[in-house]
Amino acid sequence: MSNFIDELKRRKVIRVVLAYVVVGWLLMQIAETTFEPMGLPPWALTLVIVLVILGLPLAAILAWGFDITSSGIEKTDSVTAEAPKRDSGSHIPSVAVLPFADMSPEHDNEYFADGLTEELLNVLSKAGGMRVSSRTSSFAFKGQNTNLKSVAEQLNVAHIVEGSVRKAGKLLRITGQLIEASTDSHLWSETYDRELDDIFAIQDEIATQIARALQVQLAPEALPEATTENVRAYDHFLRGRNFFHMFGPGNISRAIEMYEKAVLADPAFARAWASLAVSKATFAMLFAVEGEHRAAVIDDARAAAARSTELAPDLADSHLATGMALMADGKPEEAEVEFKKAVELDPQMHEAFYQYARAEYMQGRMDKSAELFERALEADPTDYRSQVLLTAVYQSLGQPDKAAEAARLGAALVEKHLRKFPDDRRALALGAGAMQDIGETEKAELYAERALAIDPDDENTIYNIACYLIRTGDLEKAMDLLEKCSHSAKWIENDSDLDPLRDLPRFKAYVKTFK
């Protein structure tokens, strides 16, 4: 019963019903006072009363199903569409850092505001003694004029950090505030009027003040390390990170360009070298064609990762970068050593857990892969990739109930992601298989068609659509697509999605091409 009451509150049904009753009562009072002097027949008042009464359940139903947001009327997300609640660690402070608003005169510094937000998030997540909502979860509320209490409930945190950035030339105005969501009270707020050169000191001050307000000791090692004192290099770094999060081959290429400018401006900027390596490795794994070009990109990734490690051997980003370069080079055994070190240095590094899980998958260690995908989801509950891939992992482990649940949750996360990024072909391609698994066959077909229409030559899209077609039983068409892919031999060897193909002569001939 308490869960039902909580759901009524979350969907604002109680608030809408109370507001409706008040407005309805006022309407009836107005009708009773004015209808007779206006000469209206007696049944007119009765009609108003009946309509008000009949409208009450309709208002409750609409409140249950829909929400009014800054983007218009949207369908309210079901609780079942979320990843399962994991241990919230309610005994420790919890906080989400919402994207800072760009208040610059030309509104052309969104990348800078986002970068500041992410820097704060990273610092706080490393502090220990507090639980910090992931970047993906927090940035899902970017640009939304949502009630902070509702945001806190959805992110399962008690506190919200929000603020704004105004940048004009070398002048900065940064405002920040820490809010206790349940009482809407400000625990801390500050405005910083400084020059751009002071950005690093401002970040440290804000993080320290937030930690102090939450009665958490912010250790010196939690503050940003291996950064730069070169503001121009830092600006390129933030621009690169902004492009990287926008994803797609064009944006990843622009991210690489920005990171290259950052390390050119400051050759000792370790995090920029690490980010350059991650971007190069990502491009090689997802977008680069086979042959000399791909090999050159992988070599560049390994060189950038080596430079980052040389500059900052204890930086988690350096080990993530090295691991991803090794994954791009088809060496999961070596990569897992780097990912393990990365998560030891930063236990909340979602991408390291995700890549670590993939490395274990490629080696056929499904128990370990399942554990790591679950850890990735703890770090970022909105991660549709880990949730969808868990379906194949649990199928390989002979756990159909867990596989079915993973597919259901994965499909819901994909659907939510696509509402914000409708042309994300990776989400569409993975989502097609997940939708097919839960019986949403028409939606699965639509996702597959859209993914191929966006980029019919992308090998990862083709591979995932082939996996979807296997689920539909169209094995010949699946093979037609699969034969266009030069995917990782180790992944193919362990991917349970491909099991229905393994006895086909065409598939056996296809596998021989990797040997």
Identify the segments of the chain with pLDDT beneath 70. Answer: 1-12, 64, 66-91, 127-128, 215-226, 288-292, 487-488, 515
Alpha helices in 35-133 (DSSP H): 43-65, 110-125
CB-CB neighbours of 251 under 10 Å: 15
Distance in angstroms (rounded) separating the CA atoms of residues 497 and 407:
13
Angular region, 76: left φ>0, alpha ψ -120 to 50, beta rest: beta
Q: Look up residue 247 and give its DSSP letter.
A: -
Alpha helices in 330-483 (DSSP H): 332-345, 350-362, 366-379, 384-396, 400-420, 425-437, 441-454, 459-472, 475-482
Burial class (CB within 10 angstroms; exposed 0-12, middle 13-18, buried 19+) of 300: buried
In the prediction, which pLDDT does 81 show?
Answer: 37
In the prediction, which pLDDT does 86 show?
Answer: 41
Distance in angstroms (rounded) separating the CA atoms of residues 289 and 293:
7
Does the 392-515 domain belong in CATH 1.25.40.10?
Answer: yes
Return the CATH number of the domain spanning residue range 227-347.
Answer: 1.25.40.10
What torsion do the CA atoms of 241, 245, 249, 254 make, to the nearest 10 degrees? -20
pLDDT tens digits along 244-293 = 988 778 889 999 999 999 999 999 999 999 999 999 999 988 876 666 68
Tokens of 381: 């509950």
In the prediction, which pLDDT does 279 show?
Answer: 96
Closest among 158, 77, 95 to 348, alpha carbons compared: 95
> 94-224 adopts what CATH topology?
Rossmann fold (3.40.50)
**pTM value?**
0.73
Bridge pairing between strands 171-180 and 159-168: antiparallel
The angle subtended at Cα 414 by Cα 343 and Cα 95, nearest 5°, is 50
Tokens of 472: 């539909």
At residue 41, φ and ψ (nearest 5 deg) are: -65, 155
CB distance 272 to 260 below 8 Å: no
Distance in angstroms (rounded) separating the CA atoms of residues 164 and 142:
12
In the prediction, which pLDDT does 7 show?
Answer: 59
At residue 249, φ and ψ (nearest 5 deg) are: -60, -40
